[in-house]
Structure 1
Amino acid sequence: MTERGRDALHRDVEMFQIGPSALRWENDGLTIDIDETAVPHLSRVRGRIRLQPTALNAEPFRLDRDGLHWWRPIAPAARVSVELDGPAQSWRGAGYLDMNWGDAPLEAGFTRWDWSRAALPGGRSAILYDATWRGADGRAEGGGDGSADGSADGSADGGLALALRFDANGEVERREPPPRTALPGTLWRVARRVQTDEGSSPREVRRLEDSPFYARCELVNRLWGEEAHAVHETVDADRFATRWVKLLLPWRMPRAQI
């Protein structure tokens, strides 16, 4: 997670390399070679991750009204193996692969968002987006009407309300977004909310990340009448845009090669 200059970037149709770390598509799966220095302790993170999709999706989704931010869940479901030399760790489990791209900073288009990906019985999966767009005055936008082509589903409070259910083969079905409920606040007081069946109570299993503007956790949820084991994240773009948070970022993602 080191930001590097243009000369450190190399890519072709099957490979993407930044500095000593690289991703490549081979044998119908993704291989990720990692060779980085962790901060602030300057320890090495070195090893390999292999991701083998069990379902693929080719459809991208527009996240904002103006088409400046896009997202594609490439593999709604996958098998993942991790083999690290430093630190010496290895494990296997279920996984997921997506990509985002855009033409503007995230904090310019959104004030916040909550996202989750859940495993459902039978190799199916669900992905939920709940984002608030930023208006021209810089505040949270109200009265969103969605988009004409349906790529971005507008919610009543001016944002994205997107609920997707994928079958075991990657075929996608748009669903009615479940109601929202609040999750407990984080150490850094990041407000979180999750979409869940009415009357259910999502249970946080493990806190994975707790930072001034970003939180990620593992939770058990209930979606459309089924139990769902999910990873949930919250991004507070207003908090991210503050000067004091920007000054903290190099401690987690240095901008010069170490």
Structure 2
Amino acid sequence: MTERGASSLRRDETSFSIGTSSVERTPSGLEFRIDERCMPVPRPLKGSIKVTFEEVMPHAFALDRLGKHSWRPLAPRLRVDLAFDNPDLHWSGDGYLDMNYGSEPLETAFSKWSWSRMHLSDRTRLLYDVTESDGRSHCVAIDVVDGEIVPYVPPGPEGIVGLPKGLWRMDRWTRSDPGVKPALVRALEDAPFYTRSLIDGSIGGRRGLMVHESVDLRRFVSPVVQAMLPFRMPRLR
């Protein structure tokens, strides 16, 4: 998450580098090479992450009414092989890859969102629930089944439920089927404006473990959080 200037950027048809870290397209997927320094405790972070997938999904979904922001689940289910020297960490398993892009800053269009991904035996279930800056809400609820997009009906507004707050007391919320209260299994990331968690829940009649995130962009733009960001995301020019 190091911020760098334009002179640190290099790219061509198959690779993209920022400073000492890079990603390269391979015949089977992507390979990330990470060579950074952690913050706020300065220690090395060095290793590689290989992701293998059979196809790239072509579908993108508008997240706002004006169509200025889009979300594309590139590879809803893939294999991840992680090998790090610093810290000494090796891991293989299922993963997920998506991207967001837009023509304006996220905080201009949105006040908050909740996102979740559930890997099931026959599909990947995705839910993207956004609240725009004017208070209007929009929900994208899709399954990916054998490479095809299948919409499903998510729980309605009455199914929006809160999850336990973390260290920074930020709201965590998701949708859940009636009568099923989601449970926080593990907090993976807890920041002043962002949380990532593993939860046990039920959406659209299917229950399972979900990787979940909540984002509060009202907090993100606050002067206090903006002053804190350089301590978490160093800026090198």
Q: Does 1:51 align with 2:51?
A: yes
Other-structure match for 2:217: 237
CA–CA distance in structure 1, aligned partners of residues 178 and 81 of structure 2: 36
Equivalent position of 1:150 in the other structure: none
1:8 corresponding residue in structure 2: 8
Quote the offset at 1:226 in angstroms. 2.2
> For residues 187 and 235 of structure 1, what CA distance do their matches in structure 2 show?
15
Distance 2:148 2:56 in 1: 8
Query: CA 1:54–1:118 in structure 2 vs 1: closer, same or farther (change >3 Å)?
Result: farther
For the residue of structure 1 that corresponds to 2:99, the secondary structure is: strand
User: Which residue of structure 2 aligns with residue 160 of structure 1?
Assistant: 138
AA of the residue aligned to 1:130: D
Q: Corresponding residue for 2:231?
A: 251
Which residue pairs with 1:213 in the alignment? 193
Give 3-state SS (helix, strand or coil) of 2:230's partner.
helix
CA distance in 2, matches of 1:241, 1:77: 33
Structure 1 residue 55: deviation in Å? 5.4
Deviates more, 1:231-240 or 1:6-15: 6-15
Identity value in percent: 41
- What amino acid maps onto 1:162 in structure 2? V
The CA RMSD over aligned residues, in Å, is: 1.3
Structure 1 stretches of 4+ with a deviation exceeding 6 A read: none
**159, 162, 172: which one aligns with 1:182:** 162
Matched, 1:196 2:176: yes
In the TM superposition, residue 121 of structure 1 has moved relative to its aligned partner by 1.7
1:39 match: secondary structure: coil
Instruction: Provide the C-alpha distance between the structure 1 equivalents of 2:139 and 2:74, rounded to a whole number of angstroms.
Output: 20
Contact 1:80 1:92 in 2 (8 A): yes
Contact 1:75 / 1:97 at 8 angstroms: preserved in 2? yes
Matching of residues 32-43 of structure 1 within 5 Å: 32-43=32-43
TM-aligned CA deviation for residue 74 of structure 1? 0.2
Q: 5+ residue gaps in structure 1?
A: 136-140, 142-157
Aligned to 1:130: 129
Residue 34 of structure 2 aligns with an amino acid whose one-letter code is I
| 1:84 aligned residue | 84
Match of 1:151 in 2: none
Q: 1:121 aligns to what SS in structure 2?
A: coil
TM-score, length-scaled by structure 2: 0.95
1:234, distance to aligned residue in structure 2 (A) = 0.5
Amino acid at match of 1:15: S
Tell me the distance in 2 between the aligned counterparts of 1:52 and 1:228.
Answer: 24
1:214 maps to amino acid: Y
Could you tell me the TM-score, scaled by structure 1's length? 0.87
C-alpha distance in structure 1 between counterparts of 2:9 and 2:39, whole Å: 22
The residue type paired with residue 82 of structure 1 is L
Q: Distance in 2 between matches of 1:249 and 1:114?
A: 21
Pick from 172, 178, 193 the counterpart of residue 149 of structure 2. 172
Q: Kindly provide the CA deviation profile for residues 115-153 of structure 1, in whole angstroms up to 9, marking residues without a partner as x.
A: 11111123x101101111012xxxxx2xxxxxxxxxxxx
- Residue in 2 that maps onto 1:115: 115
